Chain A
Amino acid sequence: MILGEHDLTALALTLRLAALTTVILLLIGTPLAWWLARSRWRLKFLVEAVVALPLVLPPTVLGFYLLVALGPHGPIGGLMAALGGRPLAFTFTGLVIGSVIYSLPFVVQPLQDAFRAIGRRPLEVAATLRASPLDRFFTVAVPLARPGFLTAAVLGFAHTLGEFGVVLMIGGNIPGQTQVVSIAIYDHVEAMEYAQAHWISGGLLLLSFLMLITVYALNRRFRVVKP
């Protein structure tokens, strides 16, 4: 086996990070996307712009601000310290927070589009059939937005897998704690270990490609089911 223990640890950590980030993002992204899709609030565009920021911001910029905020002297890190906890910079928790922010638009936007595509009508129908607002959300909106959920989950997961800049800034490169595969690849290249870099890069490429194929294939099937 050409990959060292380091590499496997980094890979496991990356998958754990991506999975956890995706779950958290689905939990907070769903209500956020629902609200964005349905709200008629005048200043909604401001929230939409904030959600979209990670799409255009250099990851290092995002990472830098997170580092400042999560560090011992930052507002969040300081608060954690005052509460008797550890600062979050250079921890796995810090990485999760960074990843959630970094991948937010990749989950919120597909969900928002899916919710918007449903329109008001099916929910009004459900309302006239005695379904309460929460009931309508779970029995009509969520099932009808299923392709959106699949896209959101896979994009969120895949995007987190490829994270580099943010992690580098706030995670450092601590094996087993904050070292993710993208950084492991970078290290191998720095050390002229191209064989290892090839293996990991190829693996990531294949994984990402397979996930996207799954999404597009399934969504095509969903579209066929819809009229």
Chain B
Amino acid sequence: MTIEARFHIDRGGFSLTVDLSLPARGVTAVFGPSGCGKTTLLRAIAGLEFCQGGYLRVGGAVWQDGRQFLPPHKRPIGYVFQEPSLFDHLSVRRNLEYGLKRLKASARKVPLDQAVGLLGIGHLLERRPHQLSGGEQQRVAIARALAVSPALLLLDEPLAALDMTRKREILPYLESLHRELAIPVLYVSHSRDEVARLADHLVLLEDGRIQAAGPVGELFSRLDLALAHGPETETLIEAVVARHDEEFELTYLDFPGGRIAVARNPLPPGSLARLQIQARDVSITLARQSNTSILNIFPAAVDEICKEGPAQVTVRLMVGPVPLLSRITRKSAADLGLKPGKPVFAQVKSVALLS
């Protein structure tokens, strides 16, 4: 199942042109700077924004083409706006029931209890929206969107209006939502961290144009995109928990390029996990070091080198089929004689487990 969207919106000084085909499963993040058209794209998909000549197909259903335009209330979506938008005149419970009540019994697939449980808002049901904190309001808004059993969940920077503490409070709920419900999510964000944690698929938008689209791990490690440049450059790797080392409190995970060790975590063997490796934590050697404290050393090949400011370079290594970025000084790259195709060893100093 895929989502196909073609929109061209022109509005004095701002234009958005997209031609997209997205997987209608997992979390797809639409990522880009403020004002690049992310929200407009999401609104066009929801039908809140009408654009002449647009085309939108979700799975087997055409929501918009030259002849028809399905109005927003007839689209099987859930939408969470940037700022909490609960109905002030209704209690939390009545807010949650608002959409649910308008659903045919046969269309109710997500029980209200489950939505309430997932977002941890059971104790808030009898309150009024103005009695809740911003984070609580946004959790209710997410549960309200889930309660309409959407075929597609659209989240427009649901965490943007919240401070760091509230963000941390909601992120785990969003992650569990991703794991427990098989609802495809389109997630608009300008936070690299949120994207790294939540997204499977990524659409990069800039100035109303699509720069690139693809699996998040792939795009994060592409040197021709802005993502790989800047202080926060990192590689995302999908891995499977292999086993736990009880003696040294380590967990080993397998990825297509080898086996990697991280600090012991509670995930059972077989679980999927996403690893994050900062480019500055990856060093390069020509021979395998034996007398070293570094556990994770992988044979690799230099794929591409890109200058990064006056003194540094970003090196894209291939560890088997998996790309890995390394940020080193230009001098080191010259001393090692790095060039595409050269076999090297990647030493990974630190690995973070994202989920």
Please, which residues of chain A bring their CB within 8 A of the CB of B47?
Answer: 127
- Pair A144/B98 contact, Cβ less than 8 Å: no
Is A128 among interface residues, defined by CB-CB distance under 8 A?
A: yes
Please, which residues of chain B bring their CB within 8 A of the CB of A225?
Answer: 88, 128, 130
- Pair B130/A227 contact, Cβ less than 8 Å: yes
Please, which residues of chain A bring their CB within 8 A of the CB of B77?
Answer: 128
- Pair A130/B87 contact, Cβ less than 8 Å: no
- Segment of A14-22, A118-126, A191-199 engaged in the interface with chain B: A118-126
Please, which residues of chain B bring their CB within 8 A of the CB of A124?
Answer: 48, 72, 79, 81
Of B73, B99, B148, most buried by chain A (CB within 10 Å of CB) is: B73
66-109 of chain B: CB within 8 A of chain A? 71-75, 77-79, 81, 85, 87-89, 98-99, 102-103
Is A83 among interface residues, defined by CB-CB distance under 8 A?
A: no
With A131-B73, A135-B102 known as contacts, the answer to whether A125 contacts B81 (CB < 8 A) is yes
Please, which residues of chain B bring their CB within 8 A of the CB of A133?
Answer: 73
Complex-state Cα separation, A143 to B90, whole angstroms: 9
Q: How far is the CB of A123 from chain B (nearest CB, A)?
A: 10
- Pair A122/B73 contact, Cβ less than 8 Å: no
Is A132 among interface residues, defined by CB-CB distance under 8 A?
A: yes
128-169 of chain B: CB within 8 A of chain A? 128-130, 144-145, 148
Complex-state Cα separation, A136 to B73, whole angstroms: 10
140-164 of chain A: CB within 8 A of chain B? 140, 143-144, 146
Complex-state Cα separation, A129 to B150, whole angstroms: 10
- Pair B85/A125 contact, Cβ less than 8 Å: yes
- Pair B130/A129 contact, Cβ less than 8 Å: no
Q: How far is the CB of A52 from chain B (nearest CB, A)?
A: 29
Is B228 among interface residues, defined by CB-CB distance under 8 A?
A: no
Is B324 among interface residues, defined by CB-CB distance under 8 A?
A: no
Q: How far is the CB of B163 from chain A (nearest CB, A)?
A: 17
Minimum CB distance partner of B75 in chain A: A128
Minimum CB distance partner of A136 in chain B: B73
Is B119 among interface residues, defined by CB-CB distance under 8 A?
A: no
Complex-state Cα separation, A126 to B94, whole angstroms: 13
With A129-B144, A226-B130 known as contacts, the answer to whether A143 contacts B73 (CB < 8 A) is no
With A128-B77, A131-B73 known as contacts, the answer to whether A122 contacts B148 (CB < 8 A) is no
Please, which residues of chain A bring their CB within 8 A of the CB of B72?
Answer: 124, 127-128
Please, which residues of chain B bring their CB within 8 A of the CB of A140?
Answer: 87
A127, A128, A144: the one within 8 Å of B89 (CB): A144
With A128-B46, A130-B102 known as contacts, the answer to whether A227 contacts B88 (CB < 8 A) is yes
Task: Kindly state the interface size class of chain A when it binds its partner.
Answer: 20 to 34
Complex-state Cα separation, A127 to B70, whole angstroms: 12
B88, B129, B148: the one within 8 Å of A130 (CB): B148
B73, B88, B103, B129: the one within 8 Å of A127 (CB): B73
Q: How far is the CB of B129 from chain A (nearest CB, A)?
A: 7
- Pair B85/A130 contact, Cβ less than 8 Å: no
- Pair A130/B73 contact, Cβ less than 8 Å: yes
Please, which residues of chain A bring their CB within 8 A of the CB of B129?
Answer: 227
- Pair B102/A122 contact, Cβ less than 8 Å: no
87-145 of chain A: CB within 8 A of chain B? 121-122, 124-133, 135-136, 139-140, 143-144
A129, A135, A144: the one within 8 Å of B88 (CB): A144
Minimum CB distance partner of B47 in chain A: A127
Q: How far is the CB of A38 from chain B (nearest CB, A)?
A: 15
- Pair A129/B81 contact, Cβ less than 8 Å: no
Complex-state Cα separation, A130 to B70, whole angstroms: 12
- Pair B99/A130 contact, Cβ less than 8 Å: yes
- Pair A125/B102 contact, Cβ less than 8 Å: no
Of B47, B71, B81, B88, most buried by chain A (CB within 10 Å of CB) is: B88
Q: How far is the CB of B282 from chain A (nearest CB, A)?
A: 43
Of A121, A125, A135, A139, most buried by chain B (CB within 10 Å of CB) is: A125
With A121-B81, A227-B129, A227-B130 known as contacts, the answer to whether A126 contacts B98 (CB < 8 A) is yes
Q: How far is the CB of A142 from chain B (nearest CB, A)?
A: 10
A127, A136, A146, A226: the one within 8 Å of B48 (CB): A127
Please, which residues of chain A bring their CB within 8 A of the CB of B71?
Answer: 127
With A122-B85, A124-B72, A227-B130 known as contacts, the answer to whether A131 contacts B102 (CB < 8 A) is yes
Provide a sorted-by-A list of 8 A–B residue pairs whose CB atoms are within 8 angstroms: A124-B79, A128-B77, A129-B98, A129-B99, A130-B73, A135-B73, A144-B87, A225-B88
| Nearest 5 pairs of A and B residues by beta carbon | A129-B99, A128-B79, A130-B102, A227-B130, A127-B72
Chain B contact residues, CB within 8 Å of chain A: 46-48, 71-75, 77-79, 81, 85, 87-89, 98-99, 102-103, 128-130, 144-145, 148
Chain A contact residues, CB within 8 Å of chain B: 121-122, 124-133, 135-136, 139-140, 143-144, 146, 225-227
13 additional A-B residue pairs with CB within 8 Å, beyond A128-B77, A130-B99:
A124-B79, A125-B79, A126-B73, A127-B73, A128-B79, A129-B99, A129-B144, A130-B73, A130-B103, A136-B73, A144-B89, A225-B128, A227-B129
